[in-house]
Structure 1
Amino acid sequence: MAKLLYSATMSLDGFIAGPGGDMSWLTEFIGPNPAADALVGEVGSILVGRRSFGGDDPHRGTEGEGKAFGGGWAGPQFVLTHNPPAEPVPGVAFVNDFEEAVEAARTAAGEKVVNIIGADVARQCIEAGWLDEVAVFIAPVLLGDGVRLFDHPGGATVKLRRIDEGSAPLANYVRFSVLR
């Protein structure tokens, strides 16, 4: 069964998006990164939240705009939402049930990983006990506000074990398995 992997680039102070979902801060940190390239090669499908799917794009104004990983990956995408768009989006399935979305993404991924994009979908996977790994690219910037990598009002402890790490000119990399 395909693993569920939450991946994101995060500011040093823990934000994956700036205030209002702003992703423009990320643009200067997109560039050559062997760990990111390797991670993209592991992805068999994507499970993404509606806000992330329809949100700001750090590739805006480039030929990678609107494409997964800026065009570095193509394959089945599943958007978890109660409000699908009126018009279909090629290669994208809109699913309103969390368990159905996870199962569809796992089936589509085959032996590869399901890449989770979006803090809320990742939180739901953690709460369900289904998240297997977390990969974080840490950008050398402080945003001060925005969307946190993991936010659970009232607190929640999720224990992790580091399984990989590396550095690149634009962002360091750490990968963890989720301990159950």
Structure 2
Amino acid sequence: MTTILYSATMSLDGFIAGPGGDMSWLAPHLGPNPVADDLLPRVGALLVGARTFYGDDPNRGTDREGAFSGGWEGPQVVLTHRPPATAVPGVTVATDLDSALAAARAAAGDRYVNVLGADVAAQCLAAGQLDEVLVFVAPVLLGDGVRLFHRPGGADVRLEQIHAATTPVPTLWYRVRR
């Protein structure tokens, strides 16, 4: 059975991107991490939001740099309300969450579907489709930007810890309790 996982590197004050989608803050905090290194071969497909894929930061986006610092090769499903005019090789475009999840699950088989993008992760959570959350906490305070989760008025979501590590950065892995 496919597991839907949201993974992200977050600043200590809760942001996964700086103002305007800026991702330049992340570069000094990337490097070998046993948890991330072990996860990557267990991911069967990516479910990516349009802002993450095309990038709100004018210099970045997974369509240009690749996911996981270019370490990812495999099927991607991009959830967007504005499909591109031309097809992107290896990318399936979906305009609603249900079809995006179905396509990503089919592509992933029994491996993880890794969600990239706070908005898509929040949609999966609201739909009861998010199974796990993995957060790498970078030792930096951004002060503003894109939050790990933005859920105004949302109910509490209970989590069960699966794994925690402290090196090279604090790493927290949770299962969403239903």
Flag whether TM exceeds 0.5 (same fold). Answer: yes
**Which residue of 2 is the match for residue 12 of structure 1?**
12
Residue deviations 1:13-53, cap 9 Å, x none?
Answer: 00001111111100111111111111112100000100111
Q: Look up the equivalent residue of 2:6 and give its one-letter code.
A: Y
Q: Secondary structure at the match of 2:65?
A: coil
Alignment of 1:70-149 (within 5 A): 70-149=69-148
Residue deviations 1:110-148, cap 9 Å, x none?
Answer: 110000000110011111111100000000000010111
CA apart distance, 1:156 = 2.6
Alignment of 1:51-62 (within 5 A): 51-55=51-55
**Which residue of 2 is the match for residue 48 of structure 1?**
48
Retained in 1: the 8 A contact 2:160–2:176? Answer: yes
1:176 aligns with 2:157: no
Q: Secondary structure at the match of 1:26?
A: helix
CA distance in 1, matches of 2:53, 2:113: 15
Q: Secondary structure at the match of 1:176?
A: strand
Q: Secondary structure at the match of 1:25?
A: helix
**Runs (4+) off by over 4 Å:** none
| Count of residues paired in the alignment | 175
**Which residue of 1 is the match for residue 30 of structure 2?**
30
**Which residue of 2 is the match for residue 69 of structure 1?**
68
Retained in 1: the 8 A contact 2:7–2:116? Answer: yes
39-48 or 154-163, which deviates more: 154-163
Superposition RMSD on alpha carbons, in Å?
1.7
Q: TM-score, normalised by structure 2?
A: 0.93
Q: TM-score, normalised by structure 1?
A: 0.92
Percent identity for Structure 1 against Structure 2: 61
Q: Look up the equivalent residue of 1:178 and give its one-letter code.
A: V
Q: Look up the equivalent residue of 2:26 and give its one-letter code.
A: L
Instruction: Mark the runs of 5 or more structure 1 residues left unpaired by the alignment.
Output: none
Retained in 1: the 8 A contact 2:164–2:173? Answer: yes
